Structure 1
Amino acid sequence: MEFGSTILHNVESLIRDEEAGDYLLCRVPEPTRLGLNMKAQKNILFASNSEIRFVMNGDSAVLGLRRMPAKGDIRSQGVLEVFQGDYQGSYEISPWSVTADRTEITIRRQDWSAIQRFAGNGYSFHPSVTRILLPYDWGCCLRNIQGDIRPPKKQEMPGKRLLVYGSSITHGGNASVPSGTYAFRLARKLGYDLINLGCAGSCQMDEAMASYIGSRDDWDMALFELGVNVIETWDGDRLYGKALAFLAAVLEARPDKQVFVTDMYYNRYDFEGDKRAARFRGAIQRCAAVLSGQYGGRLHYINGLEAMDTPQGLSSDGLHPSDLGHGMIAERLAGYMAEKKEVN
């Protein structure tokens, strides 16, 4: 969506905070948000791989941001990155901290002649596009943007999009920076733009989410990571039923799209020999087998252990990937998905 002279990417609605004088960014329209389970209604407000994009005509741009007040174990500041086109910003412009106090960030124009020459060999994002990668782990509010800037043109951004939905792992959990999430890395490897609808701790395959994804015609491939958020509360049969309905709804609504589904990447349940891990993977695999036949082979199953199969890819909580793990998942998924992309 457009905001002033910028594009708010992976943002579909703004919630006005009259007292603070800014807007909380949300990744889905408000009616969709209110149709999700209660936890997802809150967690879809996290800015997972949401970006502010613009092209600088002048020498600088100033952004007014604010982090949602932190609760519980959530840290009081988040990490924001700046990319220039496909390139991570150098130390002069990135990274930044965003706090619950009003945070003002000034991005100054650099000499981009080198990366503009690189673009002669092809690019996903044109080097002139400044991309503000918002902290993925919590909500972020936008007050204003000042400077001589313009929105990027369609041809200055990738022509295709990857849509992802899943747990906190897909939302980015425990990656050090937004560009370190496996979803960001995967889209980059495929040469696609990214729509991240991951819902931390609340990926319950809601009907409202399936309907919303099915209603969007701006994505080319989708990846769904299902199961881990309900392993403590559902049994395999319930997971099978919910996943079957969710996947069928998306496939039915978008008969021209390729859909990939995976389950749980390696985690402490596997290390401890918990039989629920195998049961849940089996449930997702059975769903994929049934639906792939019904929908002309457009649904592709990837066992989560094929993407990450070692505790060396985990962070200290034994559940979420580390930066190493996020990279491993992206690399392996990209190899499989790129092959299917070319075939289809």
Structure 2
Amino acid sequence: MLTTPITAALVRGALDLEYTERGVRPHRLPASARQQIPDGQLAMTEAQPSGVRLAFRSTATVVELDVIATKRVYAGVPPRPDGVYEVLVDGRLAGQASVTEGDTLTIDMSAGTAESQPGPVRTLRFTGLPDEDKDVEIWLPHDEATQLVVLRTDATVHSAQSNGRLTWLHHGSSISHGSNAATPTGIWPAKAAALAGVDLVNMGFGGSALLDPFTARAMRDTAADLISVKIGINLVNSDGMRMRVFGPAVHGFLDTIREGHPTTPLLVVSPILCPIHEHTPGPCAFDPDAMREGKVRFVATGDPADAKAGKLTLSTIREELARIAKERSTTDPNLSYLDGLDLYGEADHAELPLPDDLHPDAATHRLIGERFARLAFADDGRWTS
């Protein structure tokens, strides 16, 4: 077996690589942004490599990857499934694997504490790959932080050739991050990217699509041919903003992106349907009755009457985003708007309800990805019409 060190030439979908004593940790925010992160939630989620993959060309039939995964354990919550690693050969799925051990991060949400415990390096092994020159991608778990230690193959590895694809840069919440999706290529942005034939850079951050200026600056400084920003659900369920602040914050976020991408097609996307927050403000909380049954569900704890005083709901956010996009498009012809209800609405909820009342399941991720590909990337879609 030949050993290939993990370098930036092999990694796609990450904005930064952190070299540690134990391995290489992909990051989806640059170091300058990470220095300004105000809480552990975003620090944890940006290090989860949603959309990040190793990409190379080789005749190898056997591929091994040594990793240190971070296993999250939530006190009082059922165990999480192990993260999935997927191998694609010339764009087609050729294998899946997981590791059951690694570093452990134990989180007690009621106490607000988190404790880390180091764990072992484990090896993923993929065999039976075609004995021919081919493009190989190893997609890392979308919801499990991973340090990459070393890549081994039974043939020489070469940098992946330029495929001429457009780069799509997307920012959103846990729904874009991939919550409740089963695999890294099963998250809706990955589905849409595969259908559209574009390269994805996924800046979907669970619980953390909060119009942070450092996120906008990271997007400003990242090369992209197409950009989308999905705004809303985290602003409601965190109850961190009022309508007076929301509008100017959206303008500021978009203005910053435009500093680096003045004419790049930019799509503003409003929230998909989430009944608990359509007309009820946050904050969002775990449903204690469900937790007593060993299940995870969410509830909205705000008062619908407070929406009149400026508390945000999904319905008021959609209305304001549509207004902002229409207003900006008069001087920015490359900016367009997509209503999230066109991706997942009332009829879809009746057929495919959100299992925890907040996040779509694997089938719904597939549905949203298919619809986004059609509504955004098709010949008559938002980016081409």
What TM bracket, shorter-length normalisation? 0.7 to 0.9
1:313 maps onto 2:349 in alignment: no
2:31 corresponds to: 30
CA distance in 1, matches of 2:58, 2:127: 9
- C-alpha displacement of 1:17: 4.1
Match of 2:51 in 1: 49
DSSP-derived class of the 1:154 partner: coil
- Within the candidate set 364, 372, 377, 1:325 is matched to 364
Matched residues, number: 322
* CA distance, structure 1, for counterparts of residue 337 and residue 359 of structure 2: 21
**Partner residue of 1:140?**
146
Counterpart in the other structure of 1:343: 384
3-state SS, counterpart of residue 257 of structure 2: helix
In the TM superposition, residue 281 of structure 1 has moved relative to its aligned partner by 1.1
Where do 1:54-133 residues align within 5 Å? Answer: 54-72=56-74, 73=77, 75=80, 77-89=82-94, 93-97=95-99, 99-100=101-102, 101-111=120-130, 128-133=134-139
Opposite residue 273 of structure 2, the aligned amino acid is Y
Query: Which structure shows the bigger proportion of residues in helix conformation?
Result: 1
Q: Which moved more, 1:3-12 or 1:160-169?
A: 3-12
Q: CA deviation at 1:109?
A: 4.5
Query: Does the CA-based 8 Å contact 2:62-2:129 persist in structure 1?
Result: no
Classify 1:315/1:17 alpha carbon distance in 2 versus 1 (closer, same or farther; 3 Å): farther
Structure 1 residue ranges, 4+ long, deviating more than 6 angstroms after superposition: none
- Shift of residue 76 of structure 1? 6.3
- Structure 2 CA distance for aligned equivalents of residues 165 and 226 of structure 1: 8
What do residues 287-311 of structure 1 show as CA deviations (whole Å, max 9, x unaligned)?
212221221x211111110110032
Conserved in 2, the CA contact under 8 Å of 1:34 and 1:41? no
- Counterpart CA distance in 1 for 2:199 and 2:97 is 21
CA distance in 2 between partners of 1:342 and 1:45 (Å): 30
TM-score (norm 2): 0.77
5 Å-filtered alignment, 1:184-203, equals 184-203=190-209
Whether the 8 Å contact between 1:170 and 1:183 is mirrored in structure 2 is yes
Deviation sequence 1:194-237 (CA, Å, 0-9, x none): 000111101111111111211222x1111111110010312233
Structure 1 runs not aligned, ≥5 long: 114-126
Partner of 2:185: 179
RMSD of the TM alignment (CA)? Answer: 2.4
Judged with a 3 Å threshold, the aligned counterparts in structure 2 of structure 1 residues 144 and 199 are, in CA distance, closer, same or farther, namely same
Q: Which residue is 2:106 aligned to?
A: none
Q: Distance in 1 between matches of 2:261 and 2:173?
A: 23
Q: Residue 183 of structure 1 contacts residue 330 of structure 1 at CA under 8 Å; is this kept in 2?
A: yes
Q: Does 1:221 align with 2:258?
A: no
Contact conserved, 1:43 with 1:200, CA < 8 A, in 2? yes
- Judge conservation of contact 1:54–1:131 (CA < 8 Å) in 2: yes
Q: 1:343 to 1:199 in 2, by over 3 A?
A: closer
* One-letter amino acid matched to 2:324: C
1:67 positional shift = 1.0
What is the SS of the residue equivalent to 1:32? helix
* 1:230 equivalent in alignment to 2:247: no
Q: Secondary structure at the match of 1:70?
A: strand
Change (3 A) 1:246 1:332: same
TM-score w.r.t. structure 1 length? Answer: 0.85
**5+ residue gaps, structure 2:** 103-119, 281-303, 308-312
Corresponding residue for residue 257 of structure 1 = 264
- Stretch of structure 1 that moved more, 331-340 or 32-41: 32-41
C-alpha deviation, 1:333, in angstroms: 1.6
Alignment of 1:137-176 (within 5 A): 137-147=143-153, 148-155=155-162, 157-176=163-182
Residues 136 and 178, structure 1, Cα contact 8 Å, conserved in 2: yes
d(CA) in 1 for partners of 2:134, 2:204: 29
**Larger Rg computed on CA atoms:** 2
